[in-house]
């Protein structure tokens, strides 16, 4: 184990709850082990540790985050994503490779959406020249989680949303049979509806979406 992770492992163990760990494992369909930490407590413990032990190089960050995604307990993956986000000042354009690593390893909706909220918005706002080349590749990928990320990466962009790109990515996958893609389409449209409800309503009227996607898109607008 990387020396940086030894103390935080001790902290997680000291706050572990076996009952909660069993519940969390069941909730995640028995795909992952857990220490059983309450999310808010885990975040606070991790943030305090990061503040006291800041990293100084991108190479350190990459090595530690990747190891977090190799360890069995799910809290390590959450910590890895938050560690990456905490050290935004170290990021370079090449950091998208580390972000993508987190999207495609030990993937499920929880870590993928955590990466989206903690990292994707800041990364693409900091390096906008990367948007098209990266997200087009993700959208065309056979990986469900990269597809989902291409559809959802703009959900916090508000007025800065590239609606043409959003439309292109949604239409490429509107007939997907994958639940997490159908849900992502609806979620992305619902978020953009907060900024441009007329565009979203027109888009839904014009394009035949899966009922789940349409229902999610119009949830706060009404049909």
pLDDT at residue number 222: 61
Q: Which of 68, 93, 126 finishes a domain?
A: 126
Same domain, residue pair 102 and 161? no
In a domain, 105, yes or no: yes
Question: What is the number of residues in the chain?
Answer: 223
Same domain, residue pair 5 and 29? yes
In a domain, 135, yes or no: no
Same domain, residue pair 8 and 118? yes
In a domain, 222, yes or no: yes
pLDDT at residue number 219: 86
HEC readout, the chain: CCCCHHHHHHHHHHCCCHHHHHHHHHHCCCCCECCCCCHHHHHHHHHHHHHHCCCCCHHHHHHHHHHHCCCCEHHHHHHHHHHHHHCHHHCCHHHHHHHHHHHHCCCCHHHHHHHHHHHHHHHHHHCHHHHHHHHHHHHHCCCHHHHHHHHHCCCCCHHHCCHHHHHHHHHHHCCCCCHHHHHHHHHHHHHHHCCCHHHHHHHHHHCCCCHHHHHHHCCCCCC
Instruction: Determine how many CB atoms are found less than 10 A away from the CB of residue 63.
Output: 15
pLDDT tens readout for residues 13-33 = 999 999 999 999 999 999 999
Q: pTM for the whole thing?
A: 0.92
Q: CATH number of the domain that 189 lies in?
A: 1.25.40.290
What residues of the chain score a pLDDT lower than 70? 222-223
Domain span including residue 116? 1-126
Same domain, residue pair 59 and 107? yes
Q: Work out how many domains the chain is built from and give that number.
A: 2
Same domain, residue pair 115 and 147? no
Same domain, residue pair 29 and 77? yes
Same domain, residue pair 14 and 114? yes
Q: Which of 94, 126, 158 finishes a domain?
A: 126
Q: Which of 126, 153, 172 finishes a domain?
A: 126
In a domain, 45, yes or no: yes
């Amino acid at each position: 184990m990387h020396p940086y992770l030894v103390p935080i492992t001790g902290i997680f163990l000291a706050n572990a709850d076996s009952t909660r760990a069993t519940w969390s494992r069941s909730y995640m369909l028995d795909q992952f082990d857990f220490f059983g930490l309450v999310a808010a407590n885990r975040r606070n413990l991790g943030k305090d540790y990061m503040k006291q032990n800041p990293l100084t190089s991108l190479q350190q960050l990459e090595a530690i985050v990747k190891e977090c995604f190799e360890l069995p307990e799910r809290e390590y993956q959450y910590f890895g994503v938050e560690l990456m986000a905490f050290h935004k000042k170290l990021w370079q354009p090449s950091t998208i490779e580390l972000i993508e690593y987190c999207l495609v390893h030990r993937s499920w909706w929880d870590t993928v959406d955590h990466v989206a909220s903690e990292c994707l918005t800041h990364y693409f706002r900091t390096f906008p020249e990367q948007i098209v080349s990266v997200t087009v590749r993700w959208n065309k990928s056979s990986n469900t989680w990269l597809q989902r990320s291409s559809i959802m990466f703009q959900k916090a962009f508000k007025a800065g949303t590239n609606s043409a790109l959003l439309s292109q990515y949604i239409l490429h996958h509107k007939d997907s049979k994958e639940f997490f893609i159908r849900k992502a389409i609806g979620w992305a449209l619902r978020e953009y509806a907060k900024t441009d409800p007329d565009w979203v309503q027109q888009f839904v009227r014009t394009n035949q979406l899966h009922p789940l996607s349409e229902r999610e898109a119009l949830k706060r607008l009404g049909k």
